[in-house]
Structure 1
Amino acid sequence: MNKIYQSIHSYKFSGALLNLIQCYLYLLFTKNVAYFSLSILGTLVFYYFSLVEKYVGVLQVIISSSLALYSFYFFSKNSNNLYLSIFYFFMLVFFSKILTNKFVSQNAGPFFIILISSMAATSKSGISFESMHVMSIGIGMLFAIISSLIITLYFNNTRNELVKKCPNIDFFQVGLYSFILTIAFTVNLIYPLHHYNWLIVSCSAVMNGGDSILFKQRIQNYSIGTIFGFLLSMFIIDFQPDIKIVIIIISILYILISIFLKFRYSYMITVCTILAIFLVYLSDKSLGLDLPLIRIQSILSGLFIGTIGQILILKFKNNDMY
């Protein structure tokens, strides 16, 4: 119960409520009103927790949200130029990884990559519900970090926490990480998976730093969670629930994600799998068995690419230690 209590009072739970509010706004109002309202709510939530956590993630949010919004504009204008999009994605991942390593932490890069991949991967199909979802949160974060930075100037005890000591950056490992993720991005564009960001996100999650033990645990949890989520979503879709039932299911899933995030990662992936499928249903208004199949195909492909990439990264990292 104590873990559940802590989860409910964490910023992850507030983020879940934020997403839940978006679903209701999406149904009650026009898209513009919904996304504008979500941006305002995002401002309040991220502003509050940037104060609570003493601004440690402020620069990460600046880099992530600013470049994410520009990336959305770039990919929407150049989606027909495959080679330019691939080159830009590689450079974006490479420099964002260096910047986030320098100013925040070793594992901050994937946060940025999930943001841009959600928008970049959907650019060929137009502005989707998921793209606008991420973009609206990014706008909210931009407002939040600007006000947070202004207030930070008046607190001497927290000013030094904005910029941590710069770690030693291995440019070869960063380049290899960027190259592997660019392969995932290219596969996502070439094959008929470009409407979703699932392949890129799963690949990024596998390569999220750590030693070989954590790496194996992530693969195991992600695989088990995806398979169970796939089976459960197939079972639910077989009943063909209407839009009201889907909203109720999404509400429950957001709460479960916030609870499981703290102590059951595989359970959280199971819930995320079902949630992602039903969010697509809100956008396309079509719920068929092809969605779970695309989901598991994308996730397993991303895990395969990410596994090869992380093995190479760990191999070169271990060789450098001797």
Structure 2
Amino acid sequence: MNQNSTRINGKMGEEISNKQVILNNYVKAYVKESDMSLRTSKIQLKIPSGCDDAVLLKNLYLSIDPFIPKHMKKEENYITPYKLNSPIFGYGVSKVLDSSHPNFKMGELVWGFIYLEEYSLIKDPNVLFKVHDKDLPLSYYTGILGMPGMTAYVGFFEFCSPKKGETVYVSAASGAIGQLVGQFAKNAGCYVVGSAGSKEKVDLLKNKFGFDEAFNYKEEQDYNAALKRYFPDGIDIYFENVGGKMLEAVLSNMRLYGRVAVCGMISQYNIEQHEGVHNLLYILTKRIRMEGYYVTDHYHIYPKYLEMVMPLIKEEKIAYVEDIVEGIESVPGAIVGLFSGRNVGKQVVVVARE
């Protein structure tokens, strides 16, 4: 099959089954597979009458990301909780089956916010982006050409403003975002060190992604000593993915006028009581700029990102690793696996082959 063909289980207008991943109960600590289940509902293969500016999608690839469990907690602050007994949402790559929106046509490929299910009716297509380059694998739009790629770009270039020769530390460096930040930093002429949770991932950082050094944080008894070993003169830029004790150690090893882009704090997502962080005084004494961000605030510069990253991909100046599993029934296990280090690279679930 070519990239524009999709297996449709019924004819247009027909009512067919739609497998969905739903939330069974709100999570307090570590997410478990039993917190989710698979449900089969019915969906009609056309836009319902009176539903203007909507699109009906056949989902091809689902993106499994660390932010998903945050929405499984009943918190009413900046995070919108998933609804119980309803499909959970995330990112994915899809094909437009029907559209009542003037900007989207039948047969077009898109990526963006969808529900983790086989078919999705999206009533606000402003959360979708068109796939313009069909020569690259469509799964790339769950990662390097989608949200994780944009997240890496915004945090590193827009917030940290790297300079040639600076020192960069990336935690959770073998994941979808970390692997890209490290390579962006190398392309910018920086010295780059990453940490990961296994020998396999450390080897990947050094031998495939070109990090100058890498270490297994699980083998380190003292994070502060480990960072002094790799950064004897201090860290200029820290790309924060972990939080907790790692952030604490980094702050004491930052250089004057260092920058910290807070992309995530994965060590804090699955615990009921968040850990406190010492060494915050260093933010003042070392004049450190530390800023958190959500990539959704920055999608207006997506064309700028594509302009930078597309040549790197096509000229094979950047490596990218995916961890792909088959079938929507794999979603709960893939989500849980993110927090046990099961995946290597960007975790993707294939729902339908293009």
Larger Cα-atom Rg: 2
Higher relative contact order (CA 8 A, sep 6+): 1
TM-score, scaled to structure 1: 0.23
Larger strand proportion, structure 1 or 2? Answer: 2
Larger helix proportion, structure 1 or 2? Answer: 1
TM-score, scaled to structure 2: 0.22
